[in-house]
Amino acid sequence: MAYGFLFRLYLKTMSSTPHQPRRLVHSDSNSSIEPENNIEFQAADALASSHGDAYRGAGVLIGLLGILVVFIAVTPAGLSIENESTLVMLGVAKVVLMVAILVNVYLYGNRSKHHSEWITYRRKAESLRYAGLKELKEKLNSNLESGDAAAVSEHLFAELRRTLEGENGQIAYNQRKSRQYKSIEHFSSRLSWYGFLFVLICAVWLLLSELHLAPHTSLLIYGTAAVPAFVGGIHGINGLLKVESLLEEHQNMALVLQGLCGELNLANPRDSVTMLEICGRVYDHLVARDVLWAESVEKIKIKPA
């Protein structure tokens, strides 16, 4: 889907890193995830990514179109265009872009199901991702006094390690996403400084030209009007995508899970009480993160740039 591609391209461009894939459900022979649940997860995960990327891609497009409208608006003055046909063409282009913005806001902000389906399928995928962990936790809790407790505890220990550790683990995922969002924030910050310096240079040049100390050029309007609009538009897109809050959430989640993983590796795998306690905290954090994510995404609303 074009909108999804645009969203992924924006992330890659702004962060200078490839779009990170979602975590996987472990499907090896030792995993507690049933094959049919794994297939159901893959379907829900793919649908969530598709709907989420399309919705956010529409927001990115609206922001970029808004920036382009400003550039077209200042072009007649910036290039000293006086040709009537050219002015009409620029005017038509500006109106067409503004209509395109309104159409996208209406279709994706008010009429589209991408937003609600994104949340629905992501919540479903996450519940399936940790279904095996939940089942083992409940199984151990109901067999604490039985002779099977130690064996179930060892199985739960292995499942917790698979969930938290490794390239496809939750900790690595949160670390990758935090690095990606931090890179976007860093790039945006540099863009702001470069934009401010460029605007300052243009403003000083304009002042000197008014004092007849420097030649005047109409191109200065791009520096004093269009560049601030560009920088503001990029920050607006990042605001829509909740880059700053997601950075903080992924950093905090990685730190919390790293602490729990450290406790897990120091514990005795056959100590059923300890395994149950650690698993309870891990699972609670994963569920709480899912709830907070849904609340955060619910606030992502597409509107005119």
3-state secondary structure 96-112: HHHHHHHHHHHHHHHHC
pLDDT at 119 over 70: yes
pLDDT at 28 over 50: no
Total number of domains constituting the chain: 1
Q: Note whether residue 186 is domain-resident.
A: yes
pLDDT at 13 over 70: yes
Q: Note whether residue 191 is domain-resident.
A: yes
Which residue in 221, 204, 222 sits closest to 213, CA to CA? 204
| Maximum C-alpha span of the chain | 93
Q: Which pLDDT score, from 0 to 100, does residue 33 have?
A: 45
Q: H helices within the chain, ranges in order?
A: 2-15, 35-78, 84-104, 114-129, 131-142, 149-164, 170-210, 220-221, 227-240, 243-266, 272-298
Q: Which pLDDT score, from 0 to 100, does residue 31 have?
A: 40
Q: Note whether residue 158 is domain-resident.
A: yes
Burial-class residue 67 by CB neighbours within 10 Å (0-12, 13-18, 19+). Answer: buried
Q: Note whether residue 260 is domain-resident.
A: yes
Which residue in 101, 67, 72 sits closest to 230, CA to CA? 67
- Quote the Cα angle for 293-298-299, to 5°: 105
Domain of residue 139 covers 2-8+33-298
Q: Note whether residue 246 is domain-resident.
A: yes
Interval 273-300: pLDDT, tens:
999 999 999 999 999 988 888 888 888 8
Q: Note whether residue 16 is domain-resident.
A: no
Q: Note whether residue 28 is domain-resident.
A: no
Q: Note whether residue 17 is domain-resident.
A: no
The amino acid present at 20, given as its one-letter code, is Q
CB atoms within 10 A of CB 109: 19
- 12-40 mean pLDDT: 57
